[in-house]
Every structure is written in C-alpha cells, then in structure tokens.
C-alpha cells in the first residue's frame, strides 16, 4: 500500500496542482511511490483550519488503514492579514495563531501517531504586488498584508515547531535570501510563481528526505519496467 503525503493548508496549498505547482511536482516526483492528498482551503486561517481539521482528514486514511507518512501544515498567510485593513476578517492574533497551530498538530498527532508533521511558515509578502493585484476589492491604497507582519508569524511558526520538536520549513526566510524574490517568487505579492513553487517543492523534498521519505528509500509500487526481463516479463508478476 502506498504511503500518503497530505497537504493541509490555505490557497497556496489549494492551488498547488496548478501550472508548475509544488503539490503536482510532489505527486510527479513520487508518482510510483506515494499518494499526494490535497487538502487546501483557500482563505482559511488557523482558527478555521482548527474547526475543520477533523472533517478535512475524514477519508484521507479511514480507520484500519495505515496513517499518512507525512502531512504538511501550511497556514499563516491569512492569519497575518492586518486586522484593520480589507481582509481583516481573516486575521488571527499572533498568540492565537500559535495556540491554533499547536492544537492542529496535537489533533494530527493524536489521530496518527506515526505521521511526520512538517510545519511551513507563511511566505513573504510583496506589498507592491498586493496593491497591484486586482482580484480583490482593495480600494484603500494600503496593502492588507505586510512583509514585516508575515515575518512575525513566520518566526512564531518556527517557535511552535521547535517547541513541539517538529520539522519546519521557514519559507519566509528562505525566499528572502534570493534577489528579486518579490517578483520572481510571488505572482501577486502572495501566491507563488512557478519559480516560487519550485523553491517550496525543493524544501519539502529535502524535509521528507530528512525523515526517511526519499525517492531512494521508498519502494516502487509494482515492478519497474527497467527491472523486467524482456525475454520473460511475466516472471516479474509471479509473486
């Protein structure tokens, strides 16, 4: 039975199977080795995620079935909207963000004790990109998110991961290491371009590898064509 990798998060997870998306890239990478299960909920913050985590995970691994090998928990971009700007209804105060993250991880740990939980921090924000984004109805001239504020949530997420002893991907800090991160990695100041997706994909692959979930370590599902004997291919299917 193939191991499962569950992606639990907000819109950056929900859209991760779009063109160049990090979720699709994971599914492609592990195409014969693991099932990637998408549980992305656009616009959700940790307060709402905590409300739905039980329902979101229903059916991922029913009772009696092996728990997922790993789950990414990727929230914070919506928690970190500024409370007094447009989108303020998505805001969650920083201490509650941490409490919610702890509770989501506790729920997953309780349900599936062996699952590797990987926290992902909110991404950086390009305020200029947010203002140029015409998909919302922000006419205030002020961005609803700032990079500094997102950075505080990223640090808070890392702190929770350290406290719980969980692996964490600090995608906020990672992306900031690159020149022109604002435009190369973020297509609207928040969501990822193909290059941005690729940065996160590589980080997830690295973390999975650290936890023993590498391409090399996972068995291939059913005989590989390259391992078959062209003179007697059916031999591969005897056991």
- Is 237 among the residues that bind a copy of itself (CB under 8 A)? yes
- Is 56 among the residues that bind a copy of itself (CB under 8 A)? yes
**For this structure, is 11 an active site residue?**
yes
Residues 61-100 that bind a copy of itself (CB under 8 A): 62, 64-65, 89-90
Q: Kindly tell me which residue out of 1, 177, 179, 216 binds a copy of itself, with binding defined by CB under 8 A.
A: 1
Annotated catalytic residue within 35, 133, 188, 221: 188
| Calpha distance 157→237 (Å, rounded) | 47
* Beta carbon of residue 200, minimum distance to a copy of itself (angstroms, whole number): 16
The CA-CA-CA angle for residues 142, 144, 150, to 5°, reads: 125
Dihedral sign for Cα 27, 44, 69, 192, please.
positive
8 has which bridge partners? 39, 73
- Is 27 among the residues that bind a copy of itself (CB under 8 A)? yes
Q: How many CB atoms lie within 10 A of CB 145?
A: 25
How are the residues of the chain apportioned to helix, strand and coil, as percentages rounded to the nearest 5? 45, 10, 45
Structure tokens at 46: 């940790």
Tell me how many residues contact a copy of itself (CB under 8 A): 47
Q: Which is nearer to a copy of itself, 1 or 141 (CB)?
A: 1
Which residues, at least 6 apart from 162, have a Cβ–Cβ distance to it below 8 Å?
168
Task: Compute φ and ψ for 143, nearest 5 degrees.
Answer: -70, 145
Q: Which long-range contacts (CB under 8 A, 24 or more apart) does 61-65 make?
A: 61/4, 61/112, 65/1
**For this structure, is 113 an active site residue?**
no
* Beta carbon of residue 231, minimum distance to a copy of itself (angstroms, whole number): 7
Q: Kindly tell me which residue out of 5, 8, 9, 40 binds a copy of itself, with binding defined by CB under 8 A.
A: 40
* DSSP summary character for residue 211: T
Please provide the size of the chain in residues: 239
- Look up tokens 């819109």; give the residue: 11
Query: Of the listed pieces 22-30, 156-164, 177-185, 196-204, which binds a copy of itself according to CB under 8 A?
Result: 22-30
Structure tokens at 97: 């963000």
**For this structure, is 191 an active site residue?**
yes
- Is 235 among the residues that bind a copy of itself (CB under 8 A)? no
* Beta carbon of residue 165, minimum distance to a copy of itself (angstroms, whole number): 29
- Is 103 among the residues that bind a copy of itself (CB under 8 A)? no
- Is 48 among the residues that bind a copy of itself (CB under 8 A)? yes
| Residues of this chain that bind a copy of itself (CB under 8 A) | 1-2, 14-15, 17-21, 23-25, 27-28, 31-32, 35, 37-38, 40-44, 47-48, 51-52, 55-56, 58-59, 62, 64-65, 89-90, 221-222, 224-225, 228, 230-231, 233-234, 237
Could you list the active site residues? 11, 188, 191
């Amino acid at each position: 039975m193939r191991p499962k990798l569950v992606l639990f998060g907000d819109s950056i997870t929900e859209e991760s199977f779009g063109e160049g998306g990090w979720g699709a890239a994971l599914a492609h990478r592990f195409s014969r080795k693991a099932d990637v299960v998408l549980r992305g909920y656009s616009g959700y913050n940790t307060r709402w995620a905590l409300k739905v985590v039980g329902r979101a995970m229903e059916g991922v691994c029913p009772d009696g079935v092996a728990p997922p090998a790993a789950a990414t928990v990727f929230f914070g971009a919506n928690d970190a909207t500024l409370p007094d700007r447009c989108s303020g209804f998505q805001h969650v105060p920083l201490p509650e963000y941490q409490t919610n993250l702890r509770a989501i991880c506790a729920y997953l740990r309780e349900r599936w004790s062996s699952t590797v939980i990987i926290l992902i921090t909110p991404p950086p924000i390009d305020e200029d990109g947010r203002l140029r984004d015409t998909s919302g109805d922000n006419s205030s001239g002020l961005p609803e998110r700032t990079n500094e504020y997102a950075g505080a949530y990223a640090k808070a997420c890392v702190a929770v991961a350290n406290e719980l002893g969980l692996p964490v991907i600090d995608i906020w800090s990672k992306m900031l290491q690159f020149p022109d991160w604002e435009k190369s990695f973020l297509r609207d100041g928040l969501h990822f371009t193909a290059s941005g997706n690729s940065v996160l994909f590589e980080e997830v692959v690295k973390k999975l590898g650290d936890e023993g979930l590498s391409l090399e370590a996972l068995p291939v599902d059913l005989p590989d064509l390259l391992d078959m004997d062209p003179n007697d291919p059916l031999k591969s299917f005897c056991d």
